[in-house]
Amino acid sequence: MTNSLRDPKVAATLKRLHARATADWLVFLRALPAVLWGWLRGRSAMESAIPYLKNAYIPINAEQGQVLYALARAAQAKTIVEFGTSFGISAIYLAAAARDCGGRFTGTELEPNKVKTARENLATAGLDAVATVLAGDARETLKEIAGPIDFVLLDGWKEMCLPILKQLEPQLRPGAVVLCDDIKAFAKTLAPYLAYVREDGGPYVSQLLPLGDGLEFSVYLGASEVRS
């Protein structure tokens, strides 16, 4: 059985990108004065840091990538959607799974320089035939997505994760997997998201996976499962 993560082009591209992403600490260092200044004026760290993050990867780690790939394979995901593609690291794991499941990956990214590079990186990995990176705000670009959606990764700015999930929900197939990253680092911002996916009697079953900064793993049960 095929495992595209073992494809030499995919493996080499991921190795190169994970190595490049280690330089993110320099970006965060440059953002520090603005973050501290913003903090004194009551702004969130993310709000103050955003102008500096145009060149930051802020990626999932390799262990998370392996788990994303495995979960997408287990779900036999044919339609995989990502909110927040950055330079394409998570996109490569997910496009590899899409190819091996006979499906397609669609990512969406706000920053034009990241869109261009993510597309190039997917092409270098040999995955461009099964991958699309939509340019622009996910609230608009994801309106184009036709369901049923089998797998979603929510990894854009955290206050948008719940609105994007609700926007995609009518297209989710029962049994669809939804993952949301950085649960521990953004506990306050993501509290409404967690309350929604963990709601007793709600349309999801959900559990935190202790990977990276915390990856919330939710399975959509379908609208008919919601208790009245």
Ligand X SMILES: C[S@@+](CC[C@H](N)C(=O)[O-])C[C@H]1O[C@@H](n2cnc3c(N)ncnc32)[C@H](O)[C@@H]1O
Single residue of 5, 48, 59, 176 touching ligand X by CB under 6 A: 59
Number of residues written out for the chain: 228
Q: If binding is defined by CB under 6 A, does position 49 make contact with ligand X?
A: no
Q: Terminus-to-terminus CA distance in the chain, angstroms?
A: 43
Single residue of 79, 90, 117, 218 touching ligand X by CB under 6 A: 90
Single residue of 80, 84, 100, 133 touching ligand X by CB under 6 A: 84
For the chain, percent helix, then strand, then coil, each to nearest 5? Answer: 50, 20, 30
Helix or strand holding residue 108 (H, E): strand 104-109
Does residue 52 contact residue 75 with C-beta atoms inside 8 Å? no
| Minimum separation from the CB atom of position 84 to ligand X (A) | 3
Does residue 138 contact residue 160 with C-beta atoms inside 8 Å? yes
Does residue 138 contact residue 159 with C-beta atoms inside 8 Å? no
Piece of the chain touching ligand X by CB under 6 A; list 57-65, 97-105, 188-196, 203-211: 57-65
Binding mask 161-200 for ligand X (x = CB under 6 A): ----------------------------------------
Q: If binding is defined by CB under 6 A, does position 127 make contact with ligand X?
A: no
Single residue of 103, 126, 156, 212 touching ligand X by CB under 6 A: 156
Piece of the chain touching ligand X by CB under 6 A; list 7-15, 156-164, 187-195, 216-224: 156-164
Piece of the chain touching ligand X by CB under 6 A; list 54-62, 73-81, 125-133, 199-207: 54-62
Among 174, 4, 13, which residue's Cα sits nearest to residue 87? 13
Single residue of 89, 145, 152, 183 touching ligand X by CB under 6 A: 89
Single residue of 152, 155, 194, 197 touching ligand X by CB under 6 A: 155
Burial class (CB in 10 A: 0-12, 13-18, 19+), 146: exposed
DSSP of 19-44, one letter per residue? Answer: HHHTTHHHHHHHHHHHHHHHHHTT--
Single residue of 63, 137, 199, 225 touching ligand X by CB under 6 A: 137
User: With respect to ligand X, which residue has the nearer C-beta, 101 or 154?
Assistant: 154
User: Residue 222 and residue 170: Cα distance in Å, rounded?
Assistant: 9
- Contact set with ligand X (CB under 6 A): 57-60, 84-86, 89-90, 108-111, 114, 137-138, 155-157, 160
